[in-house]
């Protein structure tokens, strides 16, 4: 059932969309098999790479520190975040059906926002961890004890849940009565607004406010942490000490730049300047490319992680 028909309280006829069509990459009909293969390899790499980081941060005794505890949690979050969109995309590429029910679309959107918000907050927690380690090294193990680490991770996961569930409810309380083709690779607010009947301005403003709260505020906190970190590092008398301090922060900074750069462009740029093609590419970047490169960024730039991998994997 694609549409339901009926009368509202005033006796007027109405039509409600019950099923959407995710167009995805349907404009590239000759590349469907190729894209399925590419995204299958990417998803497999994400699962294996982030899975290995989770395993080594759990079993290697040299990595039992707050920094690697947060890294393991972040890798788990990346797997969950990617699994909201990529498996569905693979099914669509393989089956060519591309249909998704209204309820399934709402569930996908809700989990995408909850996990995206958790990722922003966890990146902030990781920046705070580096700030304490470099700016207050004598108090590091006291401040970042195991109980505090767990509380910070739980806060990252749970803080945005009520707000983002409410946000999803508002989006899907709109009346979708016309076209049911979503020109995107997954269900998301910007392409859904284009299909809604009636006024969407208030809800669009609400979406941008939530994006500011869970995007810009954590980013500013990360920026503040790194201003203080860099100021402290530059005061270190030893060149080797400065180099080591910078190397422990560089991986996190690269991930922050990749994730925030693409996500902010999608959700904060004016609708008039957005195009469907660029929106799909940027969405792929922060939902797929960043999680794929996360294990490489942290392993190739971290001697402790490389040493742990060598112990775990046969030569």
- Over residues 92-125, the pLDDT tens digits come to 989 888 899 989 999 999 999 999 899 999 999 9
What predicted TM-score, i.e. pTM, was given to this entire model?
Answer: 0.88
pLDDT of residue 179: 81
pLDDT of residue 264: 67
> What's the count of helices (H) and strands (E) in the chain, helices before strands?
14, 5
Kindly indicate the confidence band of residue 176, based on its pLDDT and cuts at 50, 70 and 90. Answer: confident
Comparing CA positions, the residue from 210, 214, 183 lying closest to residue 279 is 183
Distance CA 29, CA 310 (A): 43
Specify the range with the lowest mean pLDDT, choosing from 57-61, 88-92, 193-197, 306-310: 306-310
pLDDT of residue 9: 47
Place of tokens 């060519």: 96
Q: What is the average per-residue pLDDT within 171-197? A: 87
pLDDT tier, 304 (very low <50, low <70, confident <90, very high otherwise):
confident
pLDDT higher than threshold 90 for residue 42: yes
When the pLDDT of each residue in the chain is averaged and rounded to a whole number, the result is: 84
Percentage of the residues of the chain whose pLDDT score is greater than 90: 35
Backbone angles phi, psi at 182, to 5 degrees: -90, 115
Alpha helices in 84-173 (DSSP H): 86-95, 102-135, 140-143, 146-158, 161-172
Residue 159 DSSP code: T
**Edge-to-edge strand ranges of the sheet holding 99-101:** 99-101, 19-22, 181-182
**Terminal alpha carbon distance of the chain:** 55
Q: Which two tokens stand for residue 131?
A: 């700030």
Q: Quick one: what percent of the chain has pLDDT higher than 70?
A: 88
The whole-angstrom separation of Cα 178 and Cα 260 is: 33
| 60 vs 105, more confident | 105
Residue 1: is it exposed, middle or buried by C-beta count within 10 angstroms (0-12/13-18/19+)?
Answer: exposed
Q: Are 222 and 124 in contact (CB under 8 A)?
A: yes
Evaluate whether 123 touches 238 at the Cβ level (below 8 Å).
no
Residue ranges of domains in the chain? 3-312
Report pLDDT for 54. 92
More confident position, 162 or 280: 162
Residue 50 φ then ψ, to 5°: -70, -35
- Nearest residue to 263 (alpha-carbon basis) of 120, 77, 90: 120
Question: How much is the pLDDT for 107?
Answer: 95
Ranges 68-72, 248-252, 285-289, most confident: 68-72
pLDDT digits (tens, 9 = 90+) for 68-100: 999 999 999 999 999 999 999 999 989 888 899
pLDDT at 274: 59
> What residues does 11 pair with on adjacent strands?
none
The answer, yes or no, to whether residue 20 has pLDDT greater than 70, is yes
pLDDT at 16 over 50: yes
Homologous superfamily of 3-312 in CATH?
Answer: Rhodopsin 7-helix transmembrane proteins (1.20.1070.10)
Q: Does residue 293 surpass a pLDDT of 80?
A: yes
Q: What are phi and psi of 62, to 5 degrees?
A: -75, -10
């Amino acid at each position: 059932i694609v549409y339901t028909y009926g009368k509202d309280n005033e006796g007027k006829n109405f039509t409600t969309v019950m099923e959407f069509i995710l167009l995805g990459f349907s404009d590239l009909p000759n590349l469907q098999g190729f894209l399925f293969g590419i995204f299958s390899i990417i998803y497999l790499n994400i699962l294996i790479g982030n899975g290995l980081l989770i395993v080594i941060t759990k079993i290697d005794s040299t990595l039992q520190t707050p920094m690697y505890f947060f890294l393991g949690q972040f890798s788990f979050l990346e797997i969950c975040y990617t699994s909201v969109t990529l498996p569905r995309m693979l099914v669509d590429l393989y089956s060519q059906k591309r249909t998704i029910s209204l309820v399934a679309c709402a569930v996908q959107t809700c989990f995408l926002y909850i996990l995206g918000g958790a990722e922003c907050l966890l990146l902030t927690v990781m920046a705070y961890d580096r700030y304490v380690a470099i700016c207050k090294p004598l108090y590091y193990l006291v401040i970042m004890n195991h109980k505090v680490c767990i509380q910070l991770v739980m806060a990252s996961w749970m803080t945005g849940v009520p707000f983002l569930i409410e946000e999803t409810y508002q989006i899907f309380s709109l009346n979708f009565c016309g076209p049911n083709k979503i020109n995107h690779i997954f269900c998301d607010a910007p392409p859904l607004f284009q299909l809604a009947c009636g006024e969407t301005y208030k809800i669009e403003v609400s979406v941008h406010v939530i994006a500011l709260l869970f995007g810009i505020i954590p980013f500013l906190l990360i920026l503040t942490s790194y201003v203080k970190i860099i100021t402290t590092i530059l005061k270190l008398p030893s060149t080797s000490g400065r180099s080591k301090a910078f190397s422990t922060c560089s991986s996190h900074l690269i991930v922050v730049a990749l994730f925030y750069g693409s996500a902010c462009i999608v959700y904060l740029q004016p609708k008039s300047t957005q195009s469907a093609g660029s929106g799909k590419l940027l969405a792929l970047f922060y939902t797929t490319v960043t999680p794929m490169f996360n294990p490489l960024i942290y392993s190739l730039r971290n001697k402790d992680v490389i040493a742990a991998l060598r112990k775990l994997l046969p030569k």
